[in-house]
Structure 1
Amino acid sequence: MVISLPGRRSDELASEFCHLRETLAQILRVMTIEGVIDRVKFDSFYVSMHGPSHEELKVIIQEEGSFSISEMQVHDPRSCVDNALMVPSMFASMMRAVFEPIIVQHFGDVMDEFMACTEQRWRQPGSLEEEVAGNPLVMLVVSLTKAMTRLNLLGRL
């Protein structure tokens, strides 16, 4: 099994997730003001976000015990993208990839409006473009295999 999730570069607490959560909140707040999202639903929306470091993720997986790590990589998905290509639609698509299931479950089918609002926010002065440039994104990619438990081994004897 391969899992890809947002993370942070080190065990130090980072502002990256505050930034991502704040960006999401700003976009949803605008959608609420514009009447796309119900105020009561906006007020009840909560996303618990934790971006582990690769070391923290390794410990969590090992302590849980169901899987063993075959390989783990840490990378910035924007590292091989020319900054000129980081356009509003690309950032909006990245936000959609991360948040669509949660947004649709809570607010309904508002993703077209979410994408438009995200792209619009990118173009404004003091924009998301400037915020994203100042907050590097890190993705953790982990290849896992099902761990052989003692019970499984006993069953094979």
Structure 2
Amino acid sequence: MNGGDGEHSYSSNSDNQRNVIAKTRPKVEENIREMLLKLNFPECIKVSDLGCSSGQNTFLVMLEIVNTITGSYQQTNQDLPEIDYCLNDLPQNDFNTTFKLVPFFNKEVKGKCFISGIPGSFYSRLFPNKSLHFLHSSYSIHWLSKVPQGLEDNKNNVHIRSGCSLNVCRSYMNQFQTDFNLFLRMRSEEILPNGRMVLTFIGHKDVKPFCRDDFYLWSLLSDALIDLVSEGVVKQSEVDSFNVPFYNPSAGEVMKVVRNEGSFEINKIETYEHLVSYETDEEKDDDQSHGIKFGRKMANRARAITESMLIAHFGDTIIINHIFNKFAHHATQNYSFSGPTTFNIIMSLIRK
């Protein structure tokens, strides 16, 4: 993710994720309240947000969780607990942008809340045994630990797409199953009995065919790269060797991994389609202006989450500018007034 708060930063291009956080808020609050009752309101609560990224969204999640905890204690006339709030993401995450918001956060909450950063992959151990009470993760679990093996036949695509080989689809699915099983096993060692997790991630419907255009950003990125090959800006071999470490599973695939791993009880799992919104002045803009603004917005959103990967692979900022100019063009060409949708999965788990 791009750090800072500039035009192409994650912080400036994560309004869609913010809407998802708002949608899942009742589920987070419900699980926290139920957990506190089950655990008899402990004196200290340890919480973690895995894949927290940076900026305002991280702050909003912190505020939501801490206020729900303190509100639950107040409603039952309990002394407020001390809250140990741990923000986790990869070491290269821009933690500083979030930490700058901590003074504002402290003014908004009651009680004592101790905030720390825990750099590291959530596919590894991050916390001591049985130390966590509540874990939250939004729009992170669909990122894999690595690009799957066996994608040599995935030509002209950066991800699964209609027409790609069944081996490509299976490689992605197998990598997700391996990673998510590992994620659950690591968390099972860290979360105490009756502790909870609320996970939100991009998924896909349980429909055929198995290989399909299942995430619009990757289709647009593939089309942009193909354009640059035809113009001689990048080599075909460079495009063919670039794949995104991302998999959006079905609810059935997720439940199967949870049940096979065995450490957690599925409390609830829900799915919904989310309209990917973008800001525009509907009264003044005609359809063409809408489309152009939509294209630029989608390009900035994609750039915020993929630029570091693309630079690592293609190695030239100038090429990156070309890629996202093409991306914006294709997004504009595919524009519809209703906008694209994503299929989201919200799952709450209880440590057995």
- TM-score class, shorter-chain normalisation, is 0.5 to 0.7
TM-aligned CA distance change 1:65 to 1:106, over 3 Å: farther
Change (3 A) 1:80 1:118: closer
Structure 1, residues 6-25: CA drift from partner, whole Å, max 9, x if none? 3113x213634276544332
Aligned to 1:154: none
Match of 2:204 in 1: 8
Structure having the larger proportion of residues in helix: 1
Matched length = 141
112, 122, 127: which one aligns with 2:321: 112
2:100 maps to none
* 2:343 alignment partner, one of 131, 138, 151: 138
Change (3 A) 1:72 1:96: farther
Measured at CA, do residues 2 and 119 of structure 1 come closer, stay the same or move farther in structure 2, by a change above 3 Å? same
- Give CA deviations for 1:77-121 in whole Å, capped at 9, x if unaligned: 426667957711222234335544543332234443322111122
The whole-number CA distance in structure 2 between the counterparts of 1:140 and 1:62 is: 17
Cα-Cα RMSD: 3.8
Amino acid at match of 1:115: F
Provide the C-alpha distance between the structure 1 equivalents of 2:271 and 2:305, rounded to a whole number of angstroms.
Answer: 17
Give the whole-Å Cα distance in 1 for the aligned partners of 2:269 and 2:321. Answer: 34
The residue that corresponds to 2:273 in the other structure is: 76
Identify the range of structure 1 (93-102 vs 51-60) with the bigger mean alpha-carbon deviation: 93-102
CA deviation after TM superposition for structure 1 residue 29, in Å: 0.7
* Counterpart position of 1:37: 234
Relative contact order, higher structure (CA 8 A, sep 6+): 1
| Matched residue, 2:64 | none
Instruction: Provide the rounded CA distance (Å) in 2 between the counterparts of 1:101 and 1:68.
Output: 36
2:335 corresponds to: 129
1:88 aligned partner, one-letter code = G
Q: Does 1:26 align with 2:223?
A: yes
Aligned residues of 1:17 and 1:49 also touching (Cα < 8 A): no
Q: Distance in 2 between matches of 1:18 and 1:37?
A: 24
Q: Does 1:54 align with 2:251?
A: yes
Distance 1:104 1:79, change over 3 A: closer
SS in 2 for 1:129: coil
Residues 274, 341 of structure 2: 8 Å contact kept: no
Structure 1: 5+ residue stretches without partners: 149-157
**In the aligned structure 2, how far is the partner of 1:70 from the partner of 1:101?**
36
How much does 1:74 deviate? 3.1
CA distance in structure 2 between the partners assigned to 1:80 and 1:28 by the alignment: 25
| Shift of residue 2, structure 1, vs aligned partner | 0.5
Gaps of 5+ in 2: 1-135, 140-200, 283-289
> In structure 2, how many angstroms separate the alpha carbons of the residues matched to 1:37 and 1:65?
46
Q: Give the secondary-structure state (helix, strand or coil) at the position aligned to 1:6.
A: strand
